[in-house]
Amino acid sequence: MGMTLIEKIIANHSNQDTVKPDDIVDIRIDARAARDFGGANVVKNIIDNNLNIDDTSKTFFTFDCNPTGSDQKYAVNQQICRDFARERGIKVYDLENGIGTHILIHDGLVYSGATSVTTDSHANILGAVGAFGQGMGDKDIAASWSNGKVWFKVPKSVKLNINGKRPNGLSAKDIVLNLLNKFGANTLLSYSIEIYGEDIDKLSLDERITISSMATEMGAIIILFTPNEEILKYSEERSGKKIDLVKADSNANYDQVIDLNFEDFVSRVSRPGKPHDAVDVNIVKKVKIDSGFIGSCTNGRYEDMKATADVLKGNKIAPGVVLKIVPSTNEVWEQCLDNGLIKIFKDAGALVSNAGCAGCAAGQVGQNGKGEITISTGNRNFPGKQGKGEVYLASPAVVAASSVAGYITTPDDIPDEPATFDNLLKPQTKSGKKEKETSNDNPKFLEGRVWYIKEDDIDTDMIFHNRYLSITDINEMGQYTFDNLKGYEDFAKQAKPGDIVVVQKNFGSGSSRQQAVDCFKALGVQAIVAESFGAIYERNAINAAFPIVRYNSLNDIDLEDKDTIKINLETGEIINTKNNKTINAEPFSDVQMEIYQNGGLF
C-alpha cells in the first residue's frame, strides 16, 4: 500500500521507509522559526536548559505580530530575540519583512516535500506549496532548534475531490468558507486534508495560501496541495535549486475520500464568533459596518491587494467607515507601490500600514473597539480576537465593496450613495468561551472535583486571551484563565487546586500559545478531559507534562458539574465517585507517559 502526501513527507524526514497513521516518529525539520511574541519564550527555554542550536542556517526569528514595535512589552521581547540571534548567529527577519510563513515561501526555505515548524498556529499555510508546516508551542520550537527534529504522530488523511467548474467570481476565501460551512470546526479534526480537482490544480499560489491558511479554523492538521508546474518553478527560482515534486502515491490509503461539487459553492461571509458559521453573503447583506480590514496571512497577498484595488478604484470609503489595509510582506507592499495600488488605496481614503499580521495580532492596526462592527479578511473572528467589537469574515472584494457601501455587500451591488449611520441594522451577537489547567507531582491516578463545561471549540483566546501574551511568568497566568469565556469569567477565582475540567470537542483550538496550558497549571488544575483537542494544544499540554485525556462518550457515567471523578492515566479508566459508574477513555501513549513522568519535554 502506498503513502498519502503527508505520510510521504514524514517518511522522507524520518528514519522510516514508510509510516502510517498513529505512528509516532521523529521528523527532521528543514526550517525552524520563532515569532516575536513566542520568540522570547523560546530563548528562555534554550538558555534555561543549556541547549545548543543544531543548525543556524535552518533557524530563524520572524517579527510579524508587532512589526511596528509599538508595544513596549513586544519591543522588549523582540530585543531579547535580537540579542540572542547576534550571540548565536541566527538570522532575524526583522520588522520590515512581514509575515514569517510567507517569508519562508518567498525565500525558498520551504517547498514541495519540505518540513517547517514555527510558533505560528497558521504554519500549516505551507501546505500551499506541498510542504509540511506546523505551529507549535515554545517548548517544541526550542527542542527543534536544539535537536533539529520533533516527535510527531502521523495523522490520518482525507482526500477531498472538488469536482466540476469553479463558479465565476468565486474567490479563494469563498472556497475555504464553503469548506468551513460544510465541515465545521471539528468534523475533520486532526486530519491531513489533500485537495484535488481539475480547477483546483489551476489555483494560483496566492489562492492556495488563502485556503491552506484556514486549516487551523477547520481543526485540521494541514490542507495540502500538490504543486503544479508554475508553483514548482516559483519554488525552484526562490530556493535556487532543483526541486523534486513530492506527491501522494496512486495507491495511497485514505481514511476518507470526499467528493464535492464546485458548482454548489457560493460567496460566503462568516458571522461573528465562529469562522465556520459561514453563510451565503445575501443573508447578511445590508448589515451596517464601522470598519473594514484587508490583510492577514489569509488574504494579504498581491492578488488580494489587486482585487481590493479593482473595487476601490474611483470610489471612496463610506463616511464614518475606516478601512485598514496591510500587505502580508514587504515584497507584496512594494508590488502594490510599483503598480499604483497604494495610490488607489489612499485616494479611496484607506489606511495602509507596513507589512505584518495586523488585525489577527494585538500589536498592529486592525483591532476594533467595543460595539464596533468590522468586516475582515482575517481567518479568525473569535470573541476578542480582533478587539472588543464583532467581526465578520469575507473575501477582499466583499470587504472593499462593503467599505464603500457602508454595509455588507458585494462588488456588483454597491449603492450610488453610501449608507449613513441612521436606522442601523443590528448584527447578531455571538459569544465565546475558555478553559483551565493543573499542577501535580505526576501521579498516575487523579481524583478531583469536576468543572463540566458543555461546549465545543473552546479556543485559546477564550482560555488565555492574546492581550496577556507578554506574560512569561507562569505564576501570573492563572488569574486570567477563562476570563474571555462567557459564563466563566470568574473561573480563576472559584477554581481550587485539584479540580479537573471536562469539556467536549476541539478544546484548545486556535493559537499556538503555551500560556493556554500553563494558566491551568498555575491554578493547580489537575487535568483536562475532552472528546478531542486542538492539535497544537494537545502537543503543548503533553510537552508541559499536563494531563489531558480523551473520551468517546460520558453518557455511561451520568456526569454532572461538581461531581468527583477518578482517572487512571495508564488505563484510561474514569470513575464517577457519586455512582461508581465507569467508562474507558484513551490511556496515555508511551510518549505522553514518558514526557509526563519526566516532568516535561526537557
pLDDT of residue 472: 84
Helix (H, G, I), strand (E, B) or coil at 347: helix
Q: Which helix (H) or strand (E) holds 158?
A: strand 157-163
CA 26 – CA 302 distance, rounded (Å): 36
Cell of 109: 526555505
Question: What pLDDT was estimated at residue 433?
Answer: 43
Is the Cβ–Cβ distance between 501 and 435 less than 8 Å? yes
Taking the C-alpha atoms of residue 537 and residue 518, their distance in angstroms, rounded to an integer, is: 11
pLDDT for the residue numbered 65: 87
Residue-level pLDDT at 67? 82
pLDDT given for residue 426 in this prediction: 56
User: For residue 292, how many other CB atoms are within 10 A of its CB?
Assistant: 30
Q: Look up residue 361 and give its DSSP letter.
A: S
Residues of the chain scoring pLDDT < 50: 430-440
Residues 277, 599: Cα–Cα separation, whole Å: 40
pLDDT in tens, 451-491: 999 999 999 999 999 888 878 899 999 999 999 999 999 99
3-state secondary structure 102-157: HHHHHCCCCCCCCEEEECCCCHHHHHHHCCEEEECCHHHHHHHHHHCEEEEECCCE
The residues, ordered by sequence, that sit 6+ positions from 214 with a Cβ below 8 Å of its Cβ are: 176, 179, 180, 223, 275, 298, 379
Reduced to 3 states, what is the DSSP secondary structure of residue 392? Answer: strand
Q: What's the alpha-carbon Rg for the chain, to the nearest Å?
A: 23
Which domains, from first to last, does the chain contain? 5-264 (3.30.499.10), 270-413 (3.30.499.10), 445-597 (3.20.19.10)
Set of cell numbers at residue 466: 492574546
Angle at 283 between CA 258 and CA 417, to 5 degrees: 135
Cβ atoms 307, 339 nearer than 8 A: no
Q: What is the pTM of this model?
A: 0.87
Distances (CA, A) of 239 to 85, 213, 236, 434, 448: 23, 22, 5, 42, 54
